[in-house]
Amino acid sequence: MASLVFAAPADRSRRVASLWVCLIFAAAITWLAVQHVMWRDEVRALSFALQGQSVREMLHLLSDGHPALWHLMLRGLHALTGTVLVLPALAWVVAMAAALLLAWRSPFAWPIVALILLGRGALYDYSVVARNYGISLLLMLAFAVLYSRFRQRGIVLGVVLALLANCNVHSTILVGGFLLFWLGDLHAEASSRERPPAWGHFALNAAIAVVGIALCAATVYPTANDAAERAFPAGPVWVTALRALLLPDEAFRDLLRTGDVDALLTSHFPQAWPPMSILLRVLATAFLVGSTLGLVVRPAAMVASWVTLIAFSLLSAFIYQGAYRHHALWLVFLVSLYWIAAAGEPAVAVLPRWKRRLRALGLVLFVALLAMQAALGVGKVAPIALGTASESRSRDLARLLEADPRLRDAILVADPDYLVEPLPYYLPTRAYLMREGRFGQTVTFSRQARQVLSLDEVLREARGLQQRDGRPVVILLAARLDPAQPARAIAEGYSWTFTTTPGQVGAFLAATDRIASFGPVLCCTEESFDVYVLKKPDGSPGF
């Protein structure tokens, strides 16, 4: 099995095949980037990066819930080019750098390189989606390629880890994982005489990494987006903690698609499903843990993979549940550890038989996990590549507004407010955020904002803006309005509620003209909406 996962160091044909895979990957993400429609989380970061008259002021105003590395990169490139295209371009460059590093320097056989690059993370979430998670992919692979060379000298590894800590909060856990691995690796050194200088070198690099973690914490906390934090679990804390410790699969449901299996079996076997659900979780956890057993040749790496697995599970249980892009970072971490552990290949032959079998089982499960991500990746991007699905309706709305000169200077009002966040990528906008009572381009998910908003209040706010500014008012509503429906209370965002009654719906429809209706989208169903233009007070068209 090992020969199918790892290639000989001097295998030139492997490098050539991997580079061909890399070229195919480049073509795929280029086409997907052309088709890709920017959605709010991507443009939100660019809006934060461009605020303020200086970098210092930008950092002071930053309240995105993310550290500053991605924002600094975006601001620097925008200062050089003056175009918003730096957003997809930077994501593409980072992804290609990671792919080339993997293809040219990794010890993996070319089919494994292909599985990694076809995985949903590399193929979509860390390349096409222009966010800060792609930098984590690049930096973890960089750590893997640099580890054996710099573990005994310089501060390169410490700098890489400090930068990794400032990609996103989840990556700070992985910084701790790399340090734990490094520490365990030192402990396993054969010669005790080599340990004192090695320990001092490790301490220096660890200190640099800790400074990076401290900078991340200073940038992220206290967060203004307190409504985005996960509500503390009900019931005894120890029960939630024990469940997260023993069954970390819950945090990785997107990687294993256990939620789909759960729903399928529940619908077919409703009576027998509760015990089967527990069995499914146990099997999923065993699969995740089993995929690390190939690291038995490097015990420190195996322990680090387990610790970070549990840390991600606890973070998901108590602070932020996260999504695929967050939890797939652990898989990248695992790939990096397998890369480093490949240096232990010569010692495999002398391992006891039970360890060799355990390692073979781990490699099989590791490859199966990668193959599963490749299937998810192809399934995710196929509708985008074929042009049959979109990730947001922001581009459609921009084209609608640009097509009519009377609407180009309109004030935008939306519920939820965050529907307006992707628009600045496509055209200049003036948006009023009703829940916060201010004009702006980025929403603050704060519990201090208006938590409950009615359709009557939307109409009243829009009327006030129209009278004060004398400009057309365009209203975006994610809720589909039907006077025949009973009163509704619709949950939105993290903690918001939008309410309607039949009377409010009738009054709103009489006061507006609906000019477009954009249907459901691929990844962000809340970015589909109906578009209305507020009529003038005398009932004439508003534009």
**pLDDT tens, position by position, 157-204:** 999 999 999 999 999 999 999 999 999 988 887 554 556 678 889 999
Establish if 463 belongs to a structural domain. Answer: yes
User: What integer is the mean pLDDT of 214-219?
Assistant: 92
Q: Do the Cβ atoms of 314 and 232 come closer than 8 Å? A: no
State the residue range of the domain holding 417: 394-534
Residue 538 and residue 535: Cα distance in Å, rounded? 8
In a domain, 280, yes or no: yes
- 370 and 257 housed in the same domain: yes
Final residue belonging to a domain, choices 342, 363, 385:
385
pLDDT at 230 (0 to 100) = 58
Each residue of 456-483: pLDDT tens digit? Answer: 999 999 999 999 988 999 999 999 999 9
Q: What six digits make up the tokens of 535?
A: 């009529």
So what's the pLDDT on residue 256?
86
Cα 448 vs. chain centroid, distance in angstroms?
A: 26
Q: Where are the alpha helices (DSSP H) in 166-272?
A: 169-187, 195-220, 237-246, 253-256, 258-268
**One-letter-per-residue 3-state SS of 346-410:** HHHHHCCHHHHHHHHHHHHHHHHHHHHHHHHHHHHHHHHHCCCCCCCCHHHHHHHHHHCHHHCCC
Q: Rounded CA gap, 132 and 163, in Å?
A: 12
Is the residue at 290 inside a domain? yes
One domain for residues 480 and 380: no
Q: pLDDT of 360-373, one tens digit each?
A: 899 999 999 999 99
pLDDT band per the 50, 70, 90 thresholds, residue 320: confident
18 with 160, same domain: the answer is: yes
Instruction: Give Cα separations from 457 to 93, 434, 454, 483, 499 (angstroms).
Output: 45, 9, 5, 17, 10
User: Rounded to an integer, what distance in angstroms lies between the CA atom of residue 454 and that of residue 444?
Assistant: 19
409 neighbors 473 (Cβ within 8 angstroms) = no
Tokens describing residue 85: 């295209």
pLDDT of residue 536: 86
> Quick one: pLDDT band at residue 3, thresholds 50, 70, 90?
low
pLDDT > 90: what percent of the chain?
Answer: 60
Cβ pair 116, 153 in contact under 8 A: no
Structural domain count, the chain: 2
Q: Helix, strand, or coil here: 37? A: coil
- Asked whether residue 281 falls in the same domain as residue 403, the answer is no
Residue type, 382: A
Residue 311, H or E segment: helix 299-318
Give the range among 110-119, 217-226, 426-435 with minimum mean pLDDT.
217-226
148-157, 244-253, 338-347, 445-454: least confident range: 338-347
- Specify the length of the chain in residues: 543
Give the model's confidence band at 444: pLDDT under 50 very low, under 70 low, under 90 confident, else very high: confident
Written as six digits, the tokens of 137 are 């992919």
* pLDDT score at 267: 65
Both 9 and 158 in one domain: the answer is: yes
Rg, the chain, Cα only: 26
Measured CA to CA, the distance from residue 264 to residue 252 in angstroms comes to: 18
User: Which amino acid belongs to residue 261?
Assistant: V
Task: Let me know: does 96 contact 117? Beta carbons within 8 Å.
Answer: no
Q: Is 60 exceeded by the pLDDT of residue 318?
A: yes
Q: For residue range 370-423, what is the model confidence (pLDDT) as tens digits? A: 999 999 999 888 888 887 777 889 999 999 999 988 898 899 999 999 999 999
Residue at a domain's end among 355, 385, 415: 385
Residue 64: pLDDT above 60?
A: yes
Structure tokens at 370: 């990668």
Do both 85 and 208 map to the same domain? yes
* Domain-terminating residue out of 353, 385, 417: 385
> What pLDDT score was predicted for residue 271?
61
Cα gap 427→38, rounded to integer Å: 12
Judgement on whether residues 436 and 398 belong to the same structural domain of the protein = yes
Going by their DSSP bridges, the two strands 430-433 and 488-492 should be labelled as unpaired
Mean of per-residue pLDDT scores for the chain: 88
What's the pLDDT at 132? 95
Element (H, E) at 288: helix 273-290
pLDDT tops 70 at residue 353: yes
What is the per-residue burial (b if ≥16 Cβ within 10 Å, else e) of 265-297?
A: eeeeeeeebeeeeeebbeebbebbbbbbbbbbb
Q: What is the pLDDT of residue 226?
A: 61
Mean pLDDT calculated for residue range 434-453: 88
Q: Tell whether 399 and 446 lie within a shared domain.
A: yes
What pLDDT is attached to residue 225?
Answer: 65
Helix (H, G, I), strand (E, B) or coil at 437: coil
Residue 7: pLDDT band with limits 50, 70, 90: confident
CB 416 within 8 A of CB 493: yes
Do 90 and 30 lie in one domain? The reply is: yes
Instruction: Tell me whether residue 540 is in a domain.
Output: no
Asked whether the beta carbons of 458 and 450 are under 8 A apart, the reply is no
Question: Is 80 exceeded by the pLDDT of residue 532?
Answer: yes
User: Of 322, 323, 534, which Cα lies nearest the Cα of 412?
Assistant: 534
Rounded to whole angstroms, the Cα distance separating 423 from 104 reads 39
Reading the block at residue 449, the tokens are 């904002």
Longest dimension (CA), the chain: 89
Q: Are residues 132 and 177 in the same domain?
A: yes
What was the pLDDT predicted at 387?
77
Residue 489's H or E segment, with its range, is strand 488-492
Give me the pLDDT at residue 231, please.
57
pLDDT at 512: 94
Residue that is written with structure tokens 């097509």 in the block: 403
Looking at the fold, whether 399 and 347 belong to one and the same domain comes out as no
Which residues are paired to 500 by β-bridges? 488
- From CA 123, how far away is CA 26, in angstroms rounded? 9
C-alpha span between 34 and 90 (Å, rounded): 14
pLDDT digits (tens, 9 = 90+) for 231-275: 556 667 778 888 888 888 888 888 887 766 666 666 666 665 566
Residue among 69, 56, 441 nearest 220 (CA): 69
Same domain assignment for residues 291 and 404: no
pLDDT digits (tens, 9 = 90+) for 21-31: 999 999 999 99
Quickly state the pLDDT bin for 533 (edges 50, 70, 90): very high
Comparison of pLDDT for 49 and 269, the residue scoring more: 49
DSSP H or E run through 345? none
* Of 344 and 192, more confident: 344
Q: Which helix (H) or strand (E) holds 452?
A: strand 452-454
What is the β-pairing status of strands 496-500 and 488-492?
A: antiparallel
Q: Is residue 374 part of a domain?
A: yes
